[in-house]
Amino acid sequence: MTTNIAEVYNWVIRGLHGLPLVAIVEGMLYDVIDYYQKRHSAAVLHAATVGISYCYKIMVYMEEKVKKGQGLPIRAFGINKL
């Protein structure tokens, strides 16, 4: 799924080229409604999942960065000895 509204309309219009104007408008309406219903159901499912603060793509991105960061050496700077 995409978040770019222009891409959504391009996908919707793809199958409606040879139809009359009223059919094009109705087709766009129903296809866009279907798209947003799918997005809404995915968002509700995600919101109901306990323990997940971010969307799936962000969680995967952060897990990759955490794994990469765990292998880096750590040096302490500016620590005063007592």
Report yes or no on whether pTM surpasses 0.85: no
C-alpha torsion sign, points 45, 48, 51, 55: positive
What pLDDT, on the 0 to 100 scale, is given for residue 6? 78
What pLDDT, on the 0 to 100 scale, is given for residue 1? 54
Domain ranges in the chain are: 5-70
What pLDDT, on the 0 to 100 scale, is given for residue 77? 77
Q: Answer with the residue of higher pLDDT: 82 or 67.
A: 67
Q: Answer with the residue of higher pLDDT: 55 or 19.
A: 19
Are 25 and 12 spatial neighbours (Cβ–Cβ below 8 Å)? no
* Integer angstrom CA distances of residue 16 from 20, 22, 26, 38, 47: 9, 11, 10, 21, 34
Mean pLDDT of 46-66: 82
